[in-house]
Amino acid sequence: MAYLIAVAKEEDAEDIAALAKQSGELHQQKEPTVFKKCSSDNNADYIKKAINDEYAEVFKACDENNKIVGYLTLYLHDCPAEFFVYPDFGYIGDLCVDQNHRHQGIAQALIARAEEYLISKNIRSVELDVFTFNTPADQLYDKIGYKNLKCRKRKLL
Protein backbone atom coordinates (compact mmCIF):
# COMPACT_ATOMS: atom_id res chain seq x y z
CA MET A 1 0.00 0.00 0.00
CA ALA A 2 1.32 3.43 -0.89
CA TYR A 3 1.16 6.30 1.54
CA LEU A 4 1.31 9.98 0.71
CA ILE A 5 3.59 12.09 2.92
CA ALA A 6 2.63 15.78 2.92
CA VAL A 7 2.83 18.91 5.03
CA ALA A 8 -0.05 19.05 7.50
CA LYS A 9 -2.45 21.97 7.49
CA GLU A 10 -4.44 23.41 10.39
CA GLU A 11 -7.58 21.57 9.25
CA ASP A 12 -5.67 18.29 9.84
CA ALA A 13 -5.14 19.05 13.53
CA GLU A 14 -8.18 17.15 14.85
CA ASP A 15 -7.29 13.95 12.96
CA ILE A 16 -3.65 14.20 14.02
CA ALA A 17 -4.78 14.84 17.61
CA ALA A 18 -6.61 11.50 17.62
CA LEU A 19 -3.33 9.78 16.69
CA ALA A 20 -1.45 11.79 19.29
CA LYS A 21 -3.94 10.56 21.88
CA GLN A 22 -3.04 6.93 21.01
CA SER A 23 0.62 7.71 21.63
CA GLY A 24 -0.14 9.75 24.73
CA GLU A 25 -2.14 6.92 26.28
CA LEU A 26 0.74 4.51 25.76
CA HIS A 27 3.19 6.97 27.34
CA GLN A 28 0.87 7.66 30.27
CA GLN A 29 0.34 3.94 30.84
CA LYS A 30 4.08 3.18 30.78
CA GLU A 31 5.23 6.24 32.79
CA PRO A 32 2.31 7.64 34.85
CA THR A 33 4.67 9.67 37.05
CA VAL A 34 5.86 11.57 33.97
CA PHE A 35 2.89 11.85 31.59
CA LYS A 36 -0.54 13.32 32.29
CA LYS A 37 -3.67 11.75 30.87
CA CYS A 38 -4.11 13.25 27.44
CA SER A 39 -7.15 14.61 25.71
CA SER A 40 -7.84 15.24 22.05
CA ASP A 41 -8.48 18.93 22.81
CA ASN A 42 -5.04 19.46 24.32
CA ASN A 43 -3.46 17.51 21.49
CA ALA A 44 -5.31 19.52 18.83
CA ASP A 45 -4.11 22.81 20.36
CA TYR A 46 -0.55 21.47 20.50
CA ILE A 47 -0.69 20.31 16.86
CA LYS A 48 -2.19 23.62 15.65
CA LYS A 49 0.57 25.50 17.45
CA ALA A 50 3.23 23.35 15.75
CA ILE A 51 1.58 23.72 12.34
CA ASN A 52 1.60 27.52 12.72
CA ASP A 53 5.11 27.76 14.22
CA GLU A 54 7.62 29.27 11.78
CA TYR A 55 10.34 27.06 13.30
CA ALA A 56 8.39 23.83 12.97
CA GLU A 57 6.95 21.60 10.30
CA VAL A 58 4.34 18.88 10.71
CA PHE A 59 4.22 16.06 8.19
CA LYS A 60 1.31 13.68 7.78
CA ALA A 61 1.02 10.25 6.21
CA CYS A 62 -2.25 9.52 4.41
CA ASP A 63 -3.57 6.23 3.08
CA GLU A 64 -5.29 5.75 -0.28
CA ASN A 65 -8.55 7.10 1.21
CA ASN A 66 -6.72 10.27 2.36
CA LYS A 67 -7.08 9.21 6.00
CA ILE A 68 -4.23 10.41 8.21
CA VAL A 69 -2.48 7.34 9.59
CA GLY A 70 0.73 8.91 10.89
CA TYR A 71 2.43 12.21 11.65
CA LEU A 72 5.76 13.71 12.63
CA THR A 73 6.56 17.09 14.18
CA LEU A 74 9.92 18.63 13.32
CA TYR A 75 11.39 21.66 15.07
CA LEU A 76 14.34 23.76 13.95
CA HIS A 77 16.90 24.60 16.64
CA ASP A 78 20.37 25.98 16.95
CA CYS A 79 23.15 25.94 19.51
CA PRO A 80 26.37 27.93 19.89
CA ALA A 81 28.37 27.76 16.66
CA GLU A 82 31.56 28.15 18.67
CA PHE A 83 31.16 24.64 20.09
CA PHE A 84 29.29 22.52 17.56
CA VAL A 85 30.23 21.29 14.10
CA TYR A 86 26.56 21.45 13.07
CA PRO A 87 25.00 24.22 15.19
CA ASP A 88 21.68 24.18 13.32
CA PHE A 89 19.70 21.00 13.76
CA GLY A 90 16.28 19.52 13.43
CA TYR A 91 14.52 17.93 16.36
CA ILE A 92 11.84 15.29 15.82
CA GLY A 93 9.42 16.00 18.65
CA ASP A 94 6.67 13.52 17.84
CA LEU A 95 6.36 10.53 15.59
CA CYS A 96 3.21 8.47 15.68
CA VAL A 97 1.68 5.87 13.40
CA ASP A 98 -1.82 4.51 13.91
CA GLN A 99 -1.63 1.16 15.68
CA ASN A 100 -3.48 -0.52 12.78
CA HIS A 101 -0.92 0.73 10.21
CA ARG A 102 2.38 -0.05 11.92
CA HIS A 103 5.19 -2.11 10.37
CA GLN A 104 4.39 -0.81 6.87
CA GLY A 105 7.23 1.71 6.49
CA ILE A 106 5.19 4.77 7.41
CA ALA A 107 7.47 5.92 10.24
CA GLN A 108 10.52 5.53 8.01
CA ALA A 109 8.80 7.49 5.23
CA LEU A 110 7.91 10.31 7.63
CA ILE A 111 11.49 10.45 8.94
CA ALA A 112 12.87 10.42 5.39
CA ARG A 113 10.60 13.34 4.47
CA ALA A 114 11.74 15.29 7.55
CA GLU A 115 15.37 14.61 6.67
CA GLU A 116 14.80 15.78 3.06
CA TYR A 117 13.24 18.97 4.42
CA LEU A 118 16.26 19.61 6.65
CA ILE A 119 18.68 19.04 3.79
CA SER A 120 16.69 21.54 1.69
CA LYS A 121 17.29 24.08 4.48
CA ASN A 122 21.02 23.19 4.51
CA ILE A 123 20.66 21.61 7.95
CA ARG A 124 22.79 18.49 8.33
CA SER A 125 21.88 17.18 11.77
CA VAL A 126 18.71 15.81 13.33
CA GLU A 127 18.00 14.63 16.87
CA LEU A 128 15.17 12.92 18.67
CA ASP A 129 14.40 11.42 22.05
CA VAL A 130 13.09 7.92 22.58
CA PHE A 131 11.78 6.65 25.89
CA THR A 132 13.40 3.52 27.26
CA PHE A 133 10.09 1.64 27.31
CA ASN A 134 9.61 2.18 23.56
CA THR A 135 11.81 -0.64 22.29
CA PRO A 136 10.24 -0.85 18.79
CA ALA A 137 10.91 2.84 18.15
CA ASP A 138 14.45 2.58 19.49
CA GLN A 139 15.13 -0.39 17.21
CA LEU A 140 13.75 1.52 14.20
CA TYR A 141 15.98 4.52 14.90
CA ASP A 142 19.03 2.27 15.22
CA LYS A 143 18.12 0.51 11.96
CA ILE A 144 17.99 3.78 9.99
CA GLY A 145 21.25 5.16 11.32
CA TYR A 146 20.47 7.13 14.47
CA LYS A 147 23.14 6.84 17.14
CA ASN A 148 22.97 7.41 20.89
CA LEU A 149 24.38 10.84 21.66
CA LYS A 150 23.45 11.33 25.29
CA CYS A 151 21.45 9.75 28.04
CA ARG A 152 18.89 11.81 29.94
CA LYS A 153 18.07 10.76 33.46
CA ARG A 154 15.27 11.94 35.74
CA LYS A 155 14.59 11.86 39.44
CA LEU A 156 11.32 12.87 41.02
CA LEU A 157 11.75 15.00 44.13
Percent of the chain with pLDDT over 70: 98
pLDDT of 40 above 70: no
- Domain range 4-143, CATH class: alpha beta
Q: Average the pLDDT over each of 4-8, 30-34, 44-48, 144-148 and give the range with the smallest value.
A: 30-34
Q: What is the pLDDT of residues 72-88, one digit of tens each?
A: 999 999 888 899 888 89
Record the pTM.
0.92
Helices (H), 1-157: 13-30, 40-52, 106-120, 135-143
**Confidence grade of residue 26 (pLDDT, cut at 50, 70, 90):** confident
CA atoms in the 13 A half-sphere facing the CB of 58? 25
If DSSP codes are grouped into helix, strand and coil, which group holds residue 139?
A: helix
Supply the pLDDT for residue 14: 94
